[in-house]
Chain A
């Protein structure tokens, strides 16, 4: 059976620092890789995505890097703010466009 209450990886940073959240994915056939942010009491919200034929994509204060060789995805948040405190999920999406989520990382930003 599955365990419940597994420890959620946590990243603690100071306000103003850059944050890097990492994710390993499993399906080499995925077309898209997506990062979601989930604040307390809310559903996940889209942050940024990257197509499988790219290795880097930038948004506002966020950058996603994709390394297909080692099946690794990262989300970089520049100048982290207290409002960035949340659980971050990576997800992969193939032909069905139904996302498969990772387990999540809790980001805590200290003022």
Chain B
């Protein structure tokens, strides 16, 4: 089974702090992605990556950056945390050559910015 591990389930950070959310997958999948989930808004794509050292902006990249130095690890960075970044963050992975085109997700990190 594919396993996606997010480093923290819960985080509380102060406004202005630099925040790192870490994600590791164990199935050698090409694609990795970060979403944020807010009530009634579903999952919104922040950034995704097709391969090591490459990244693409999703629908809501403002205030975020990412890093993919190794294939199995995809980090989300909040350069200067703000209260409107309080949310559930979900990391996932997938392999475009597999059928079905299933995305696998971690359990999420609930971030509170105070």
Residues on A facing B (Cβ under 8 Å): 2-8, 31-32, 34, 36, 41-46, 48-49, 89, 91, 93, 96-104
Measured CB to CB, the closest approach of chain B to A82, in angstroms, equals 22
Q: How many Å lie between the Cα of A44 and that of B105 in the bound state?
A: 6
Instruction: Let me know if A101 and B35 touch, CB within 8 A.
Output: yes
A34 and B101 in contact, given A42-B107, A43-B4, A100-B45 (Cβ under 8 angstroms):
yes
Instruction: Let me know if B39 and A4 touch, CB within 8 A.
Output: yes
Instruction: Let me know if A2 and B100 touch, CB within 8 A.
Output: no
- Give the size of the chain B interface in residues (CB under 8 angstroms): 27
Contact partner of B103 among A4, A5, A41, A46, CB < 8 A?
A: A46
Measured CB to CB, the closest approach of chain A to B107, in angstroms, equals 5
Q: Which residue of B lies closest to A5 (CB)?
A: B39
**Residue from B40, B96, B103 with most neighbouring chain A CB atoms (10 Å):** B103
Query: Chain B residues near A103 (CB, 8 Å)?
Result: 40-42
Q: How many Å lie between the Cα of A100 and that of B35 in the bound state?
A: 10
Instruction: Let me know if A43 and B106 touch, CB within 8 A.
Output: yes
Query: Chain B residues near A43 (CB, 8 Å)?
Result: 4, 90, 92, 105-108
Q: Which residue of B lies closest to A31 (CB)?
A: B101
Q: Which residue of A lies closest to B58 (CB)?
A: A98
Query: Chain A residues near B35 (CB, 8 Å)?
Result: 101
B54 within 8 A of A: no
Instruction: Let me know if A34 and B100 touch, CB within 8 A.
Output: yes
Instruction: Let me know if A4 and B38 touch, CB within 8 A.
Output: yes
A98 and B39 in contact, given A32-B100, A43-B108 (Cβ under 8 angstroms):
no
Q: Tell me the chain B residues, 57-86 only, with Cβ under 8 Å from chain A.
A: 58
A44 and B43 in contact, given A97-B31, A97-B96, A98-B33 (Cβ under 8 angstroms):
yes
